[in-house]
Structure 1
Amino acid sequence: MSVNPPFRADIVGSFLRPDDVKDARARHAAGDLDAAGLRAVEDAAIERLVAREAAAGLRLATDGEFRRSWWHFDFFGMLDGVNVVELDHGIQFQGVQTRPRGLHIDGPVGFPADHPMLEHFRFLKPVAERNGVVPKFSIPAPTVLDFRLERDALEGSQYSGHEDIFEDLAQTYRDAVQAFYDAGCRYLQFDDTAWAYLCSEEELAKAADRGIRTDHLADRYAALINASLRDKPDDMIITTHVCRGNFRSTWISSGGYEPVAEQLLGECDFDGYFLEYDSERAGGFEPLRFLPEGEKVVELGLITTKTGTLEDHDEIRRRIDEAASIVPIAQLALSPQCGFASTEEGNVLTEAEQWAKIDAVVALANEVWPDA
C-alpha cells in the first residue's frame, strides 16, 4: 500500500485557489479574458501546484480543482441531460448559503465522450508523472446527483421519479469510469455528501420534502454505487470521500457513520474510504468494524481543513491507535478531513496554513507507517 493508492499520506483533492487564478476567472466572467487566456493561467497554476504536492512528500497529485467553481455542479452540468440552473435559494450551511444553484434534468442522462474533465485529466497526467507522482482525479458520486435534486428537477424529462433515473445514472458512471481509464487514469475518487446526510435526521427530513423516498435509501444507494462500479478495470483504484459539507469553513450535517456503515463499508465496491473524523460531529470509530478484512483502506480524516490551527501531534497519534483497535492498522491511512476549497471561495485559512496541514499529514504518516 506504500506503492499503490490510496496512500498512507493522501489528500482529498481541492486546494485554495491562487490569486492569479481567481483574477483570471473574474476577468473571464467579465468578458475581459478569453478561454485560451484563462486556460493558460490555470495550466501554469496547476504545474506549480503539482510540483508543490510532490515536494511535500505526497505520492500523488491533484489539479486542486483549479478549473472548477464547484466540486460537483461543474461535473454534473457537463453531463448529457443535466443542466445547472438558478434557484431562489442556495444550499444552506451553518450560517451561510451557497450561490443559488441547482440541477434540472431535461433529457436522458449520459456521459459525453467529450466531457471537458477528461481533458482536465489529460493535462494533469503528464505534469504529475514528470514530478514522479500518481495523478489523482475526483468527481462527484452518482448518489450526490440524486440527493441534490429538488422536487421539480425531473419535470419535463422522461423520468417520473428519483429512482427512475438510477439505471441511466449507473450507465453514465460506468461510461465515465471507462473514459477516465482510457485517458490513463488509475486513481479516481467519488466525492460524496449523501452518505453523511443519511446519518442526519434533519437532512433526511429535507430529502423527503424534495420527494426522495428515504426508507432503506442506504441499500438503494449501495446498489447504485455498485452498478456504477460494475465494470471497473482491475488495475484502477476508485475510492470515495464522505463529507458533511464544506463551504467557507462551515458544514451542514452531524451524525456518526453507524446508520450507513454496513452498506457503505461492507457492501460498496470501493477500494478505499476517505472518512471525516476531525470533529465530534463524525462520531466514533466503532462503525469501522464493518470494513471487510483485506485490502480496503480507510483514510482517517483527522486533520481538519476548516481552520488553520494545527492539530496536536500526540492527540492524532492517540486517535490513530484508537481506530487501530477496531481495524488492522495495515488498513488505515491518514488524510485531511476534506479538501481546502470545495468551491472556488475556499475555506478560511491561508495558503501557508494549508501547506502546514499537508506537511503534518506526511510527517505523521511516515512516523506511523514507516513504509509510507
Structure 2
Amino acid sequence: MSSAPRNPPFRAEHIGSLLRPEELVKKRYAIASKTESPDSLAPVEQKAIKEIVKLQQDCGIHSITNGEYSRHQFWGTFFETLQGMEEINLREGGYDQSIFRAYAPDVKSFMHAKTIPNQVTIATGKIKHTGTSSFLPELKFLQSLLPKEQWKDIKLTLTSPSWYHFRYGPKKAYVNNAYSNDDEYFADVAKAYQTELKILYDNGLRNGQVDDPNLAYFCSEAMLEGWKKDPENFQTADEQLDAYIKFYNACFERPSDFHLGIHLCRGNYMGSKHFSEGAYDRIASKLFNDLNVSTYYLEYDTPRAGGFEPLKTLPKNKNVVLGVVTSKFPELEDQKEMVERVYKAADYVAEGSKQSREEALQRLCVSPQCGFASHAEGNALEHEDMRKKLQLIRSIADEVWPGQP
C-alpha cells in the first residue's frame, strides 16, 4: 500500500467557497433581472477573485481557490452544459413536486421555504460532453494570477456525480426515451465526467475536490427511514450507496498525479442552515476503503457528525481533512481545544492502523467544516470573521505540524 499523498492536501485547508463581496452579488442579480448587461460582470468578478486570492495567501493557505466567485451555487454548471441535460424548470409546466424525493434532506429544506427547488436539471436525451468545460475558464484565470510553479496547488471544486440523481425519485433523473435504467445513465455521466477531468488535467489542474452532500445523507436516520417507506424504491439504501460508489469510481478515473478529494457536506444553505445529521459510522468502511479518492474532507464542527471513531477504518494511503472549525457562525473557536480535537482524531486513526499518534498525524489536516458561501448570499458571518477563521486554521496547523504548508 502506497503512502498517503501530500501537498495537496495541505495541513491548513479550506473547502473552497468564500464570502462574496456585496458588489459581486448585486451585479449577478442585476444581470439576472436584466437591469444590467452581462458584459459588466467580468471586471467585477475578476477584481473580486484577485482580492480573495490575496486573502488566502495572506492567511497562509496554499490550496488556492477562486472562492467560487464565478458561480452562483457551489455545484457550478457542469451538468447544465452537457449535451442531453436540460433545465426543465425553464420549460413552462416542465415538472411538479412529484419528481423529487421529498425525504432527501436538501429537497426537504428547499420545499419548506418554497414550492420547489431551483435548477431542476434532468436528462432529456443521451448525455455527452460537448468538449467544452465550463470550469476551465475558472482554472485559466487562477493560473493567470499565480506563478507557474504554484499551479499544482490550485484547487478546483467539482460537481458531485450524483447531484442531479439522488434528489429525484427512482428513475426520475431521466425521461423514458433517454434512459431505461440507472446503469445506462451512470455509464454516460461517467464518460462525460472522465472527459471533464481530462480537459482540466491537460490544462494543468492537479488538485480537485468533489463537493458531495449526497453520500452524507446515507448517515441520516431520517433519510433512511424515508427511503424504507418509499414504495417506488427498487433497491435498499445500502444497495444505492454501493451503486453510487461504483458509479463514482467510474467517474473518477484519472492519472496518478491528479490529487482528488471529496467533501461530505451536511448542508450549507442560506442563513447557515444545515440539511442532515448522523455519524459517519454507518458508511465509513465503504467510504474509506472502496471509493477511489485520496482525501476526505469531513465535517466535525458539531456533534451532528458523531465522533472520530469511524476514522479507525481509514487506510494508510488516504488522508482526512478535519473540519473542526465552523464556517457557519462568527464565534471563534479556542485554538487549544481544536488542537486537542486533532490529537484525539489522530489517536483513533492510530488505533485502527496500529501506528503511533505521530504517524497517524501524517494523514490528517485541518479546515473549516464547509465553505463560507455555498450559495451566493453566504453564511451568517462577516468578511472579517472569515479571515479570522482562516487564520485560526493556519495557527492550528502550525501548532500541530510546525513548518508544514
Kindly tell me: are residues 157 and 4 of structure 1, through their superposed partners in 2, closer, same or farther at Cα, counting changes over 3 Å?
farther
Q: Which amino acid aligns with 2:286?
A: Q
User: Residues of 2 paired with 1:212 and 1:39: CA distance?
Assistant: 47
Deviations 1:324-363 (A, max 9, x none): 1122111010011000111112111111111111110011
1:200 match: 220
SS in 1 for 2:282: coil
1:22 aligned residue (20, 25, 32): 25
Deviation at 1:156, TM superposition (A): 4.3
Counterpart contact for 2:289–2:314, Cα < 8 Å: yes
Deviations 1:9-44 (A, max 9, x none): 011100111111012112211223323221221111
Q: TM-score, normalised by structure 1?
A: 0.92
1:224 match: 247
Q: Which amino acid aligns with 2:122?
A: H
User: Residues of 2 paired with 1:142 and 1:115: CA distance?
Assistant: 15
User: Residues of 2 paired with 1:323 and 1:369: CA distance?
Assistant: 14
1:244 match: 266
What is the aligned length? 370
CA RMSD, Structure 1 to Structure 2 (Å): 2.3
Written as runs of structure 1 = structure 2, the 5 A alignment for 1:269-308 is 269-294=292-317, 296-308=318-330
* Identical-pair percentage: 34
Written as runs of structure 1 = structure 2, the 5 A alignment for 1:150-161 is 150-151=169-170, 152-161=172-181
Deviation at 1:101, TM superposition (A): 3.5
Deviation at 1:131, TM superposition (A): 10
Q: TM-score, normalised by structure 2?
A: 0.85
SS in 1 for 2:366: strand
Query: Please, which runs of 5 or more residues in structure 2 have no aligned partner?
Result: 90-94, 98-105, 350-359
User: Residues of 2 paired with 1:267 and 1:281: CA distance?
Assistant: 24
Counterpart contact for 1:198–1:218, Cα < 8 Å: yes
SS in 2 for 1:105: strand
1:353 match: 385
Kindly tell me: are residues 183 and 225 of structure 1, through their superposed partners in 2, closer, same or farther at Cα, counting changes over 3 Å?
same
Deviation at 1:125, TM superposition (A): 1.8
1:74 aligned residue (74, 77, 92): 77
Counterpart contact for 2:165–2:173, Cα < 8 Å: no
* 1:170 is the counterpart of 2:190: yes
Deviations 1:61-109 (A, max 9, x none): 1111112111126332122222233365683339646854322211122
Counterpart contact for 1:91–1:100, Cα < 8 Å: no
Counterpart contact for 1:61–1:128, Cα < 8 Å: no
Kindly tell me: are residues 85 and 18 of structure 1, through their superposed partners in 2, closer, same or farther at Cα, counting changes over 3 Å?
farther
User: Residues of 2 paired with 1:31 and 1:14: CA distance?
Assistant: 26
Q: Which has the higher strand share?
A: 1
User: Residues of 2 paired with 1:3 and 1:102: CA distance?
Assistant: 37
Which range moves more in the overlay, 298-307 or 163-172? Answer: 163-172
Deviation at 1:147, TM superposition (A): 1.2
Deviation at 1:201, TM superposition (A): 2.7
* 1:143 is the counterpart of 2:175: no
1:93 aligned residue (109, 116, 124): 109
